[in-house]
Structure 1
Amino acid sequence: MKKTLMVAALTGVFATAAHAQSSVTLYGLIDAGITYTNNQNGHSAWQATSGTINGSRWGLRGAEDLGGGLKAIFTLENGFSIMNGTASQSGRMFGRQAFVGLASDQFGAVTLGRQYDSVVDYLAPLSNTGTQYGGTIAAHPYDNDNLNNSVRFNNTIKYSSVNYAGFKFGGTYSFSNSTDFANNRAYSFGGSYSWGGLNVAAGYLQLNNDVPNAPFTNANGPASTAAGAQTGEWTFLAGRQRTFGGGVNYTFGSATAGFVYTQTNLSGTANGGISAKQSGTTAGVGFNGDSARFQNFEGNIRYALTPALSLAGAYTYTRANFGGGVNPNYNTVALQSDYALSKRTDVYLQGDWQHISSNSDNIGPFLNGLSSASRTQDQVAVTVGMRHRF
């Protein structure tokens, strides 16, 4: 009898220890609001919107302690619309993120799966669109630099370093999963450094697609979708995309001010252009030569007026070259006030304005996340919403 009781007690102890060494967390964020737009395809609009600032999502995150400072980790994250319950990211079950890997307290982490690139990981948090202070609708025109992670990458191996006295770095490689190894692939690298109130970061992203006018539409490719090009995640119809940039933030007291510069160079754009999803037009926006370019200059500021109330704003000037003498310039302003009702729930008021000056009547302003572009030179959107985290 005594032996039986001892075995039962030891079994309970070991079960508790095993449970303490591994964990799985359910988490999520819901962003819902009402948005007024002055001009969408020639008409004003009132719309119930999901993810105006941060995309609504739920996910599972887990870790298992393997001993010696090593652990197994995984993340499965689904994106969805709170307004109709449908899945985002072309209907994928775990379209935002899906990866598994090993993490070391000493050497960093290596993960495999569908993941963000290094520009998103390191540079985006210094911009307005890459944070809770501007988000989706505040993206640079067409999200041309992917700071709002419009494109996520399949078949990706990623390395993320540990924090070396404020310095972190990493990189990704996304396989084509075809015999044509160098085609339909992507890679990136980046890093950041923090010291006191100073934070600087830089990143580089390249997408290779040597097949003309077929950007990552292979169902096995790194940025692919089986649903086809017009409904997919790709932003540009181009043979090659190179995006790079850098930024700096400085926090002083209750305020944080920053500047971010990015540039996206496209080649192999003959008969190419911007996807319908990103340009807000049925047929997309076309390029007029074999190359195109976007340059973004963003200044941003955030200020905590009280522990519960914050104010934020950003101005971005974008110079673009579509070829054939078409050189539109974009001025984008995003302003936000946010009030925290609790640690997990807040309400916000956000206004966004974009003005385009162009020598082409076929290009209109289009704030990211709206249904369609404006038929005038200006587009204004005002959103009242709430976010809840769990």
Structure 2
Amino acid sequence: MNKLVMTGATTMIALAGAAHAQSSVTLYGLIDAGLTYTNNQITGTGSGHSNWQMTSGAVQYSRWGLRGAEDLGAGLSAIFTLENGFNLNNGQLSSSNRIFNRRAYVGLSSRDYGALTLGRQSDSMVDFVAPLSLTGTEFGGTHFAHPLDNDNLNDSFQINNSVKYTSPNFAGFKFGALYGFSNQAGAFTNNRAYSFGMSYVWEALNFGVGYLQLNSSARTPGQLNTNGAVTDTTGASLQGALAPTGVPLGVLASSQKTFGLGVNYTFGPAVAGFVYSHSKLAQFFQTGLSGTFQNFEGNFRYALTPAVELSGAYTYSRAGGNGGGGIPHWNQLSAMADYRFSRRTDVYFQGAWQRVSPSGTSPLGVAWINGVSAPSSTTNQVEATVGLRHRF
């Protein structure tokens, strides 16, 4: 009898332990493929030509990933995410030297105290401001980004070596902060990053604000701390206009300070929003010059039916600084229509028109819609894409 009781007790303890340590791993992903027309792209001779091409990630970058959680009890969980971006056209990784180039982190999440994670992660502009801009959502995406994605609302680069805290939801209020280490001995600030932000949701109103700062001692690619916080390209790589291909704006300046805020208001099947962002670069790329980008975006979404969603945005952006040679400003109109076959599969048609003026002698004096493979040879550029997305 005693042996039976002991066996039963042992079984109950084992079952309790199994229930206590429940864990899960989920495979997920998104595939975005399309056909894109661009009216004017620079060729090797400098003249502009139209381009018909197959594209991957015209709205959202194609990706796959693994996410997991283990229940540690008392509302505490161990969590991880590993996410890879890829080019659907040829199957290549988006980044040649990274398996999980979009996200790679592990941490602890508490129901009462929030989440603390370590690894390669997105900054607070992406977390708190981007969802209020069409470029940061499935309703606009890559081509809707502000010029050169200068505020990173399209999540063009992530932060390496980062420690990140995200609070729980306090009656609609959330906040978070991130710090990315330089990982360089004797040069604590050479290619480091830090960011913080917050959001508040009250009934139909959704508000968010964020800040991102990058610091670097680099002035040329050879001086770049390649083990530091930021080593990606910006969304539309500058390709020699201001900096070499593959090097982000902020890392070739002594600092980049980006601030943004946004608000959305929902009424019935419609959502209207406004986003403002400001990026300041100091002592940029061997020139000692400083410059700024300001972006003003108004956006609108309307659910025509449960299956059909219409969206559009107007963005006015302007550059400033002591570079001379004509200070450019941009006007961009973007629109998209989306039809959902199911919760996971949809087709879309979207397009964007951009005009930059005045050109002066500024290297930014030609149009360049974000995500288009080459800039225009003039001050105007148009792109149109028809595409298919599938989520799993």
Fold shared per TM-score above 0.5:
yes
What is the aligned partner in structure 2 of residue 278 from structure 1?
A: none
Deviation at 1:212, TM superposition (A): 3.0
Superposition map of 1:202-241 within 5 A: 202-214=209-221, 217-224=224-231, 230-232=244-246, 234-236=248-250, 237-241=252-256
Does the alignment pair 1:380 with 2:382? yes
Per-residue CA deviation, residues 339-385 of structure 1 (Å, 9 max, x unaligned), is 00001000000011110112325421111111100001111000000
Per-residue CA deviation, residues 288-337 of structure 1 (Å, 9 max, x unaligned), is x6101100000000000000000000000001125214200100111000
> In the alignment, is the contact (CA less than 8 A) between 1:240 and 1:267 conserved in 2?
yes
What is the aligned partner in structure 1 of residue 373 from structure 2?
A: 371
**What is the RMSD computed on CA atoms of the aligned residues?**
2.4
What is the aligned partner in structure 2 of residue 265 from structure 1?
A: 280
Superposition map of 1:111-260 within 5 A: 111-179=117-185, 180-214=187-221, 217-224=224-231, 230-232=244-246, 234-236=248-250, 237-260=252-275
The structure-2 alpha-carbon separation of the partners of 1:56 and 1:314, relative to structure 1 and needing over 3 Å to count, comes to same
The structure-2 alpha-carbon separation of the partners of 1:161 and 1:170, relative to structure 1 and needing over 3 Å to count, comes to same
The structure-2 alpha-carbon separation of the partners of 1:215 and 1:306, relative to structure 1 and needing over 3 Å to count, comes to farther
Measure the CA separation in 2 of the matches of 1:356 and 1:90. 33
Measure the CA separation in 2 of the matches of 1:353 and 1:195. 34
What is the aligned partner in structure 1 of residue 333 from structure 2?
A: 333
Superposition map of 1:2-151 within 5 A: 13=15, 17=19, 21-41=22-42, 42-151=48-157
Measure the CA separation in 1 of the matches of 2:182 and 2:276. 29
Measure the CA separation in 1 of the matches of 2:7 and 2:112. 41
Q: Select between 145-154 and 88-97 the one with higher mean Cα deviation.
A: 88-97
Q: 5+ residue gaps in structure 1?
A: 273-288
Q: SS in structure 2 opposite 1:268? A: strand
> In the alignment, is the contact (CA less than 8 A) between 1:151 and 1:235 conserved in 2?
no
The structure-2 alpha-carbon separation of the partners of 1:8 and 1:34, relative to structure 1 and needing over 3 Å to count, comes to farther
The structure-2 alpha-carbon separation of the partners of 1:379 and 1:162, relative to structure 1 and needing over 3 Å to count, comes to same
Between the two proteins, the alignment pairs up a number of residues equal to 371
Q: 5+ residue gaps in structure 2?
A: 43-47, 234-242
What is the aligned partner in structure 1 of residue 238 from structure 2?
A: none
Give the AA of the match of 2:102. R
Give the AA of the match of 2:39. N
What is the aligned partner in structure 1 of residue 318 from structure 2?
A: 319
Measure the CA separation in 2 of the matches of 1:221 and 1:114. 11
Deviation at 1:234, TM superposition (A): 1.4
TM score, norm. by length of structure 2 = 0.89
The structure-2 alpha-carbon separation of the partners of 1:82 and 1:339, relative to structure 1 and needing over 3 Å to count, comes to same
Q: SS in structure 1 opposite 2:148? A: helix
Measure the CA separation in 1 of the matches of 2:33 and 2:209. 32
Q: SS in structure 2 opposite 1:119? A: helix
Identity of aligned residues (%): 58
